[in-house]
Structure 1
Amino acid sequence: MSAGHGHGHGHSTSTDADQSWLAGALALIVVFMLGEVVVGLISGSLALLSDAAHMLTDAASIALALWAIRLAARPAAGRMTYGWKRVEILSAQANGLTLLLLAAWLTYEAIRRLLDPPEVAGGVVLVTALVGIVVNIAATWMISRANRTSLNVEGAYQHILNDLFAFIGTGIAGVVILVTGFDRADAIATLVVVVLMVRAGVGLVRASSSIFLEAAPKDLDPTAIGQAMVARPSVVEVHDLHVWEITSGSPALSAHVLVQPDHDCHAVRSDLADMLARDHHIDHTTLQVDHAATGAVQLGSPHLDQHCEEPHGPTHRASESAQRESAGDR
């Protein structure tokens, strides 16, 4: 029997750069948010106050992302055998949930103001929105320079991007109010932004939940991987195949592999690990490799493996011709 483990933790050398970009965006957001609260209260604009509330969640999301990056950098130790990498996924899920909760509150307020619209100072709203667009374009650009393959960073990015959309909507509402006096434009702009917030929030919650549920990454097909593994020389069967993500961009795989009797288990394990890294970009692999029972290596045999009475998931077996070719190589 051969149990092998191959891995590549791939700690990004850009972590410090990511933190610098996020910290810069955080500073911009906090300064402008404080000014927006004051202007929103003076002008009576729900759109501005909603933007300020959204920017508060933006600031919190960036701060949470920064904290998650630092915590995830801690090495594995004690009971935390994967380290703290999954805290980044917790951060992403928290960002998604706050977007959805904020969208629910803004929907209520917007509908209330559609029914009974207050007077809104369109000029003040327009000027503030234009400044907000500039600030959010700068913040969005900063975060886009960080590693967005991280779901944690992507969560913060989605918050800032949606706030940029909110300011654009607010600016349009300010123009409409100035030209036509239609105060309901403020609430309508808020509802448009709510749709974008819900879309981003659902996407983040769905992606983070998929990782927590140990689902295979979207770009990796466990069936295709199992077939590729069983097609390798000397491999008879692959079962208990599991593919998941430790955190975003860090796929892992484990499997039980049966090989032809008298073939080298260690060589097969090394070949499989190389193939998985080369063709599927999976560097973190744990493979239990055993010899199939002598005489049991035949197509469709339901008892190739005596180690696992109830294998989890589908069983992948080599074709009869492949088994004969492999046996002929001995």
Structure 2
Amino acid sequence: MSGHDHSHDHGEHSHGEHDHSGHDHDHAGHSHAPKVSAGNERAVLIGLVLTGSFMIAELVGGYLSGSLALIADAGHMLTDTVALFLAWLGFRLGSRPADAKRSFGYARLEVLAGLLNAITLFALVGWIIYEAVNRLFAPQEVLAGPMFIVAMLGLLVNLGVFRILQSADNDHVNIKGASLHVLGDLLGSVGAILAAIIIWLTGWMPIDPILSVFVSLLILRSGWALLMRTFNILMEGAPEGFDSATLQNGLVEAVPGLARVSHLHVWSLSSGRTMATLDIVLADGADPAIVTAAIKTALMTDYDIGHSTIEIDWAGNGLACPAGQISP
């Protein structure tokens, strides 16, 4: 490498030295993973119990009143229930230590549960739309009174759950996602209330399947977003908004003694837990330990990458990476 001291041949870089500076694994960086706290976990668990319980009540109410809109809203509450469950699962699993077989712990169970939820939501939407089309051609009687009462109770439950989540750490990625789910479900409850009022005042039954389709589209939107998110994580994709050139250039500018970054791989282990591996080339006279420590600090504070593995390219020739690479 031009400008580097070639008196250090490969034999002088012992395996032990390479392990400490070239392959520096930062376990302290996991502090940037979603914070596990009793307050956050309790808030999510309360919201989960309230939402899940009323989801069942709304499903029963929709069946008894004959309202497809209520059943669709119960389906939307299912997305809230699963979102809250995933948030709670993230907190619960986050406190479990890694073991010999699972060196990263059990965080990926959250992602697998999300994938299963997304697939279930698509099946639910298909059934709701099928039933809605049938009811448009053959309208069924809907009991506006019970429908209105159940929808109002659903609105109150959603407001209560939203307030509970807002009292927790709303900067947490899982709590923020669950809050958005609950906020979207408020629209479903409002739609069911409007349908009940219209049926009560006019007797126009088609409004029920029409609004059920509207609510099912909300479910479809949530389900698609969840599917894409879980698929990206399982495919070792980079987090949303990640830009490789910005990260590489930013590190070179921010870290003295860093000449170049290559073979950059960034992916998510689970929600809020981002990881990276990268090769670096040192500037002349740079201290490997100081540079790698500075890179890890920059990755944690500026890019929220909590676990990083850094290999020093001593020769500076950028050997090909078998897994492919993101070029600088």
Specify the TM-score bucket, using the shorter chain as the normaliser. Answer: 0.7 to 0.9
After TM superposition, the structure 1 = structure 2 runs for residues 55-204 of structure 1, keeping only pairs within 5 Å, are: 55=77, 58-59=80-81, 62-63=84-85, 65-147=87-169, 152-153=174-175, 156-157=178-179, 159-204=181-226
Correspondence for 1:28 among 15, 30, 50: 50
Mapped partners of 1:25, 1:100: distance in 2: 24
In structure 2, do the counterparts of structure 1 residues 9 and 181 end up closer, same or farther at CA, with 3 Å as the change threshold? Answer: same
Higher-RCO chain (CA-CA 8 Å, sequence separation at least 6): 2
Measured after TM superposition, the shift of residue 310 of structure 1 is 6.2
Mapped partners of 1:53, 1:276: distance in 2: 40
Residue identity in the other structure for 2:314? H
Question: How many residues of Structure 1 are paired with residues of Structure 2 in the alignment?
Answer: 305
Task: Report if the CA contact (8 A) 2:265-2:326 is conserved.
Answer: no
TM-score of the aligned structures, taking structure 1 as reference length: 0.80
Correspondence for 1:254 among 268, 277, 280: 277
Task: Report if the CA contact (8 A) 1:47-1:186 is conserved.
Answer: yes
Measured after TM superposition, the shift of residue 268 of structure 1 is 2.5
Mapped partners of 2:55, 2:310: distance in 1: 52
Task: Report if the CA contact (8 A) 1:217-1:251 is conserved.
Answer: yes
Mapped partners of 1:135, 1:237: distance in 2: 54
Residue identity in the other structure for 1:95? N
Measured after TM superposition, the shift of residue 106 of structure 1 is 0.8
Measured after TM superposition, the shift of residue 69 of structure 1 is 3.0
Partner of 2:317: 305
In structure 2, do the counterparts of structure 1 residues 160 and 93 end up closer, same or farther at CA, with 3 Å as the change threshold? Answer: farther
Partner of 1:245: 268
2:289 counterpart of 1:266: yes
Task: Report if the CA contact (8 A) 2:115-2:227 is conserved.
Answer: yes
RMSD: 2.9
SS in 2 for 1:9: helix
Measured after TM superposition, the shift of residue 64 of structure 1 is 5.2
In structure 2, do the counterparts of structure 1 residues 91 and 160 end up closer, same or farther at CA, with 3 Å as the change threshold? Answer: farther
Deviations 1:119-147 (A, max 9, x none): 11222222221222112221233234445
In structure 2, do the counterparts of structure 1 residues 146 and 112 end up closer, same or farther at CA, with 3 Å as the change threshold? Answer: farther
Residue identity in the other structure for 1:5? H
Residue identity in the other structure for 1:265? P
SS in 2 for 1:283: strand
Gaps of 5+ in 1: 293-303, 317-330
Mapped partners of 1:186, 1:283: distance in 2: 48
After TM superposition, the structure 1 = structure 2 runs for residues 309-320 of structure 1, keeping only pairs within 5 Å, are: 312-316=324-328
242-251 or 111-120, which deviates more: 242-251
Percentage of identical aligned residues: 31
Measured after TM superposition, the shift of residue 155 of structure 1 is 5.7
Residue identity in the other structure for 1:291? W
SS in 1 for 2:275: strand
Mapped partners of 1:33, 1:310: distance in 2: 49
Mapped partners of 1:156, 1:63: distance in 2: 9
Task: Report if the CA contact (8 A) 1:99-1:159 is conserved.
Answer: no
Partner of 2:6: none
Mapped partners of 1:62, 1:272: distance in 2: 35
Mapped partners of 2:35, 2:290: distance in 1: 33
Residue identity in the other structure for 2:229? A
Measured after TM superposition, the shift of residue 58 of structure 1 is 4.5
Task: Report if the CA contact (8 A) 2:35-2:172 is conserved.
Answer: no
Mapped partners of 1:309, 1:137: distance in 2: 51
Residue identity in the other structure for 2:222? A
Mapped partners of 2:63, 2:259: distance in 1: 71
TM-score of the aligned structures, taking structure 2 as reference length: 0.80
209-218 or 255-264, which deviates more: 255-264
Partner of 1:215: 237
